[in-house]
Amino acid sequence: MTDMLMVTDLGRDGLGAVLESAAVVKADPSSAAGSRSGLAVGLFFEKPSTRTRVSTEVACADLGAHPVVLKQDEVGLGKREAVKDVARVLDRYLDVLAFRVFRHDDLIELAEYADAPVINLLSDRSHPCQALADLQTISEQRPLAGTTVTYVGDGNNVAHSLMLAGAMAGMHVRVASPPGYEPDADITNEASGIAAGAGGSITVGNDPEELVSGADVVYTDVWASMGQEEEAEGRKALFLPFQVNSELFAVAADDAIFMHCLPAHRGDEVTDAVMEHARSRVFDQAENRMHSFKALLLHLTPSGG
């Protein structure tokens, strides 16, 4: 396995290995310091980024690798230059190609034409690096197998990766979305099949209180993602009953934690009271983006680049 376009590309053993490694490098950053000296990692951003850019750049630097940041206005992926040409050119310079894009199909084409590992930093279909940080954060609170996590809101790329990763880890993943905004059916079916073989389960529905009830983790994301700005106002009325507020959080388990991949629109999908709750883990989650990316690079590349 050389690419990670979907979290399932890691396989169950690979996922476990990355999460174990992430815990090690977080506890002892010196354990992998300089271990990827000479590695050149391309970090391409078609979409704006705070957490992804900073966490991946710092992760590369801490491992001794050289991050090369590229932006769409410089590369013109699929516009100034064909995707397959970009793939083959960058493949001559870089040891890893990590791309944050709008279209998942672009990642598939990049992986087809590049020999170097291609990492999905975000696409319209999935956000596997986020899922790695999510599971690392949950594992710091409790064993993953058997844990119930409820995702409340748009069945988007973050929900897709959480469902798949959670299923691989034997978790019970519930998703509460407004009618018409559920996760893609093929992802739900794939995750359900994986969960059945790992002792977990997948539940998708439209009643947030029912699905949050007793959950160990409550998770949400913005109601309109980047590229959906024109839909934001229209979505508000539909999504308001899915706001994670103190009342909804209270029906979860007594020791439940709250998670959000950020950026958060306080007052929309989540209230200040929940964001600042003593059991909110959103900033641990953000920090873990760095540790889990280090672990992913260690998993995908040989020592010394």
**How many percent of the chain have pLDDT more than 90?**
91
Q: How far is residue 25 CA from its own chain's centroid?
A: 19
**How many percent of the chain have pLDDT more than 70?**
97
Confidence of residue 261 (pLDDT cuts 50, 70, 90): very high
At 267-286, the pLDDT tens digits run 999 999 999 999 999 999 99
What are the chain's domains? 7-127+287-300 (3.40.50.1370), 142-280 (3.40.50.1370)
Average pLDDT, stretch 170-179? 98
pLDDT at 251 over 70: yes
Q: At what angle do helices 128-139 and 157-168 cross, to 10 degrees?
A: 50
pLDDT at 305 over 70: no
CB burial of residue 122 (10 Å; 0-12, 13-18, 19+): buried
- Residues labelled as active-site residues: 100, 127, 130, 221, 261, 289
DSSP type of residue 126: -
Average pLDDT, stretch 73-81? 90
What is the widest separation between alpha-carbon atoms in the chain? 54
CA distances, 121 to each of 46, 88, 194 (Å): 10, 19, 23
CB burial of residue 8 (10 Å; 0-12, 13-18, 19+): buried
- pLDDT number for residue 232: 75
- pLDDT number for residue 225: 74
pLDDT at 253 over 80: yes
Average pLDDT, stretch 160-182? 98
At 92-121, the pLDDT tens digits run 999 999 999 999 999 999 999 999 999 999
CA distances, 159 to each of 154, 255, 273 (Å): 8, 22, 23
C-beta of residue 107 within 8 angstroms of C-beta of residue 78: no
Half-sphere exposure of 136 (CA within 13 A, CB side): 34
At 46-66, the pLDDT tens digits run 988 999 999 999 999 999 999
- pLDDT number for residue 234: 82
Look up residue 237 and give its two tokens.
């009325």
| Interior/surface letters 255-283, b for 16+ CB within 10 angstroms, e for the rest | ebbbbbbbebeeebbbbeebbebeebbbe
Average pLDDT, stretch 161-184? 98
Q: Residue written as tokens 């889990």?
A: 292
SS3 270: strand
Average pLDDT, stretch 71-86? 91
How far apart, in whole angstroms, are the C-alpha atoms of residue 281 and residue 279?
6
Angle at 187 between CA 227 and CA 287, to 5 degrees: 60
| Residue among 303, 304, 288 nearest 51 (CA) | 288
